[in-house]
Amino acid sequence: LAKTTQPISMDSYEGQEVNITCSHNNIATNDYITWYQQFPSQGPRFIIQGYKTKVTNEVASLFIPADRKSSTLSLPRVSLSDTAVYYCLVAPNQAGTALIFGKGTTLSVSS
């Protein structure tokens, strides 16, 4: 399984755009990139998933370059409620795949 590396922590202010980059140098051809968000004492929540180029939903955008060795989660205009841990996961599309969570990035948003 591909190993992921992302910053341990990031700080931001309300209203700013936040970009969290994840590197996954040994990503395999059939691996997808998925981001989850977790608040304290809650289970992780799916944010966005992609394979290549750009994916956008109502919450975030995911940018994946052509070589797929990294990806960037973009959160537009963050608010205090976006303070959470963000996990980047890389996993193959196999049945029963276990999600391998790294340490994640703790995002702190201040007013």
Partner 1 sequence: KAGVTQTPRYLIKTRGQQVTLSCSPISGHRSVSWYQQTPGQGLQFLFEYFSETQRNKGNFPGRFSGRQFSNSRSEMNVSTLELGDSALYLCASSPMGQGSQLETQYFGPGTRLLVL
Which residues sit at the interface with partner 1, rule CB under 8 A?
32, 34, 41-46, 49, 87, 91, 93-104
Q: Cβ 79 to partner 1, closest distance in Å? A: 22
Ramachandran angles phi, psi of 81, nearest 5°: -70, -5
For residue 83, give every residue at least 6 positions away whose Cβ sits within 8 Å of its Cβ, in sequence order, or none: 107, 108, 109
Nearer Cβ to partner 1 (68/87):
87
For residues 101 and 87, the answer to whether their CB atoms sit within 8 Å is yes
Give the bridge partners for 84, in sequence order. Answer: 107
Q: Cβ 14 to partner 1, closest distance in Å? A: 27
Q: Cβ 101 to partner 1, closest distance in Å? A: 4
